[in-house]
Amino acid sequence: MKIQKTRWLSAGLAIAAVAAFVPAVVMGQTTSRFEARLTGANEVPAVTTTATGTFAATLDEAAGTIAWTLTVPAITNATAAHIHAGAAGVNGGIVLNLFAAPTGSPASSINVSGTARAADISGTLAGNLPGFITALKAGTLYANVHTSANAGGEIRSQVVAAAAAPAPVAVPAAPAKTGNGGPSMSDSTGAFTVIGLIAVAVVALGGARILTSRKR
């Protein structure tokens, strides 16, 4: 009976370790960044303008949110800005509102941010967050800023995945201390992976078998 208890205790500890850390690793993979650099040349048809802008977004699929920021340092009489559905070279309908100037007060610059959810998506993708995410990843959404002179859009750009940063070199670090003095792990160090955690479980189970065989 004692041997059996030892075997199950070791197995239970190994499984608990994997269960504790696997969610954190997997959750960390649900966030991705997108960007757009808006110019008049990207409009259909192209527009001659000195205005430019940037759009950046962070998609959190686990939370079902898209945190975004639109910046246009200088532009003449901006009236609105949206995300439209459409491939490069094609005009499409509005699917997400980004900015709207007060009636009769067009803006000379734009610096706005927000967090979009399914309820904020409109047009052909109204309420359809999975469809919006699919289009976002496929590069078939574009950011567009409208002005009084160019009601159809003065600057535009497809929203594409941001360039991936170089992968950091994994360097083992001392466990951080938690509030109760115990160690904690962070998936940001890259030191722990799902494969590594499964290996821990396998080793622990193997140890239990060795201990069992010795006690026989």
From the first residue on, what is the mean pLDDT of each consecutive set of 10 residues in the chain (216 residues)? 49 46 48 97 98 98 98 98 98 98 96 98 98 98 98 98 59 51 44 47 47 48
CATH fold of 31-161 reads Immunoglobulin-like (2.60.40)
- CATH 2.60.40 positions along the chain are 31-161
Task: For the full predicted model, state whether its pTM sits above 0.75.
Answer: no
89 — alpha (psi -120 to 50), left (phi > 0) or beta?
A: left
User: Which pLDDT score, from 0 to 100, does residue 4 have?
Assistant: 53
User: Which pLDDT score, from 0 to 100, does residue 140 have?
Assistant: 98
User: Which pLDDT score, from 0 to 100, does residue 6 have?
Assistant: 47
Instruction: Determine how β-strand 110-116 pairs with β-strand 65-72.
Output: antiparallel
Rg (CA), the chain: 26
User: Which pLDDT score, from 0 to 100, does residue 180 have?
Assistant: 53
Calpha distance 124→11 (Å, rounded): 51
Contact (Cβ atoms closer than 8 angstroms) between residue 18 and residue 25: no
- Closest residue by Cα to residue 70 from 53, 84, 52: 53
Q: Pseudo-torsion of CA 69, 50, 162, 153, nearest 10°? A: 70
User: Which pLDDT score, from 0 to 100, does residue 58 have?
Assistant: 98
- DSSP letter at 62 equals T
